[in-house]
Structures are given as structure tokens and as C-alpha cells.
Amino acid sequence: MLPAQYRWLEAEPGPRMIAEALKQYGTLEAPGDADNLKIIGWQDELEAAGLGRVYAGVYRHDAIPWCGLFMAIVTHRANIERRPERNPPRLYLSALEWVSFGVSVPKGAAALGDVLVFKRKGGGHVGLYVGHDASAFHVLGGNQQNRVSITRLSRNRIEEIAQVTLADHHDYQLLRRIPGIGPINALTILAEAGDLRRFGHHRQFLKFCGLDLATCQSGTFRGRTKLSKYGNARLRRTFWMAAQVAARQCDNSFRDKLGRYVAGHADDADRRRKAMTALTAKMARVAHAVVKTGTEYRPFLERPGARWKDPSLQGP
């Protein structure tokens, strides 16, 4: 039986992978030298469907880690249309192979039924997202305490996966050198924006992020100039969070710029909010520049005329 805090899952109409996984909830690995024939049967079913031939004759004992096998049988049964792109990875017993399954999304955007891949010493783990708290994901998976269960797994393992997977990705390494941009922020930027070189000018990228300025006009009426917010909300949030971190670090141009904006107005919360918005746009501009030019971030390089300016922050 599901724990009380997760019983709401029983009333959920989908996703299919969650529904299939819940049917196996509580399946337990046999103790000692014995084997649970149900778990072994999952491998037989995959082989019969032509998906597990690489492991034919290999997986015959449930003492072999089976989180990947559990995900494979769930994926296979949920794929009722038998669409090839929804088949499990060829080497599905290896948890880290599931990184290539589906479309990558930022960790902050995980939704019910998304596949989560974790790295740990000597291997990895794979399961389905059912929730999260401040420090951990709540994961429905197999081989968790030797059974199909829901358990909490550290969010930091996702950062380790990003570090390992993108260790040789040049754009990722350039973004990581910008103050405030950690593994997850860099991964989010690449996942949401793709190749930043496709934006010929930083203003195009700001518009894509919804960080461009817009003024509502109608006839003789002219409204306030403010952020358009028509672009990608995830990117906007990512750059905002990165700017918040960078402003708290020492010896970088973001903190320096914030100091100039709020000088003499330390108690003005509205001015600080506008200043942080300007820093967010600067963060996006710098990210675009380092990727487009292929050069590392330099802390105090400012190009006159290339700055995002909020009119309300300009002096008389």
C-alpha cells in the first residue's frame, strides 16, 4: 500500500508510466540466493518484444541491480502505440544510459512521471519523479531498499550528472565561469535556448528571454516602459536567480553594478528591484557574449553603449 502522503497518485489519470509503475508497487527482491520470478519475468517479456536481446541469457538473478530493468518494463508497457522513440535505451540495465531517453528538461521543471537519472559512486540510479522538497526528489523506482517504492534522493546527484555528461561541452564550461551560474543554471540555459550563436545580437536573445523593454502605446497614450515578459519564462527565472547569487559574491561586475545603481538609495526597495532586473538582463547579455565569442568571462569588462538601461534608474 502506498504511504498516506502519496495516495493521491492512485487517483491520477496519468502519465501512463506512473500508472504502470504503481501496478508493481511493493514488488520485493527475493532474499538470499532465491529469485523473485516476477522480476526475472520482466526481462523475459522484454526479450520477447525484441527489446532485451542484448541481455538474453544474462539477467537471470534479481541480485543484479534492477532499477533500469524496472524502468524498461514500465516504459514498454506504457508505450501502447509501440512508438520506437519511446522504447527504453538499448542498454537499459545501466541507469546512466537513461540520460538519453526522451527530451532533457531543467531539474527545476520536472513534472509528474519525468525520468530522473542520478549518479552515485560506482554507478547510478533511475526512477520516476513524483515530487520534491527543498533537498531531495521523491522518486518512484525499482531496487529502492530492494523493492519498488517511493524514496527521497538528493537533488545534488543531478548536478553530478550534469558535470559528468557536459564535462567536454565547451559552451557549458564557458557559462560555468560566469558568477552565479552553477551546473543546473548552465544546463537550463543550454536546454531552453539551444545554441546561443543563433541569436545574431544580444537584443534578440533578450527578447527571446522576455527581458526586452516594451512600451504600451495607443493613439496619444503612452504607458510605462517595462519588461515585455513575452519570452521564455524559465530562462528569465534562471538568469534572475543567477543575478541574485552573483550580486552576493565579491569582486565581479554584477555586484559592482548593483552598488552603482543603489548608491544613496539603500532603503529604496523599488529601486533595488529594478536594479536586480537590470542585472538579470546583464547576466543574459554576458551569457550570450561568452558563448558567441568563445571567450571566458572577464569580471570588469564593460562596453559603452551595450548596457541594458532601465529609464527609471537613469539620472536627470
pLDDT given for residue 163 in this prediction: 63
pLDDT given for residue 230 in this prediction: 84
Average pLDDT, the chain: 85
Per-residue pLDDT band for 310 (boundaries 50, 70, 90) equals: very low
pLDDT of 63 strictly over 50: yes
pLDDT given for residue 125 in this prediction: 92
- Pairwise pLDDT comparison (247 vs 226), residue with the higher score: 247
Per-residue pLDDT band for 286 (boundaries 50, 70, 90) equals: very high
pLDDT given for residue 57 in this prediction: 85
Per-residue pLDDT band for 263 (boundaries 50, 70, 90) equals: confident
Secondary structure class of 289 (helix, strand, coil):
helix
Is 244 within 8 Å of 278 (Cβ atoms)? no
Q: What is the mean pLDDT of residues 98-121?
A: 81
Query: pLDDT by residue (tens digit) across 208-222?
Result: 999 887 767 677 767
pLDDT given for residue 316 in this prediction: 44
pLDDT given for residue 74 in this prediction: 96
In DSSP terms, 226 is beta-bridged to 214
- Report the DSSP pairing between strands 123-132 and 147-154: unpaired
Closest alpha carbon to 314 in 274, 279, 285:
274
b (16+ CB within 10 A) / e for 175-205: bbebbbbebbbbbbbbbbbeebeebeebbeb
Write the CATH number of the domain with boundaries 4-162: 3.90.1720
Cα–Cα distance, 176 to 171 (Å, whole number): 9
pLDDT of 141 strictly over 90: yes
In DSSP terms, 136 is beta-bridged to 154
Q: What is the mean pLDDT of residues 53-65?
A: 89
Per-residue pLDDT band for 159 (boundaries 50, 70, 90) equals: low
pLDDT given for residue 212 in this prediction: 86
pLDDT of 38 strictly over 70: yes
Among 1-15, 42-56, 104-118, 234-248, which is the least confidently predicted range? 104-118
pLDDT of 270 strictly over 90: no
Contacting residues for 299 by C-beta, under 8 A, at least 6 apart = 179, 251, 252, 253
pLDDT given for residue 22 in this prediction: 96
Query: pLDDT by residue (tens digit) across 71-109?
Result: 999 999 999 999 998 999 999 999 989 988 887 777 667
Q: What is the mean pLDDT of residues 182-211?
A: 90
Report the share of the chain in percent with pLDDT over 70.
89
Contacting residues for 97 by C-beta, under 8 A, at least 6 apart = 68, 89, 90, 91
pLDDT of 161 strictly over 70: no
For CATH 3.90.1720, list the domain ranges present in the chain.
4-162
pLDDT given for residue 37 in this prediction: 95
Per-residue pLDDT band for 36 (boundaries 50, 70, 90) equals: very high
Instruction: Say how many C-beta atoms besides its own lie within 10 A of residue 315's C-beta.
Output: 3
Per-residue pLDDT band for 308 (boundaries 50, 70, 90) equals: very low
Per-residue pLDDT band for 133 (boundaries 50, 70, 90) equals: confident
Per-residue pLDDT band for 252 (boundaries 50, 70, 90) equals: confident
| Whether the model pTM is above 0.75 | no
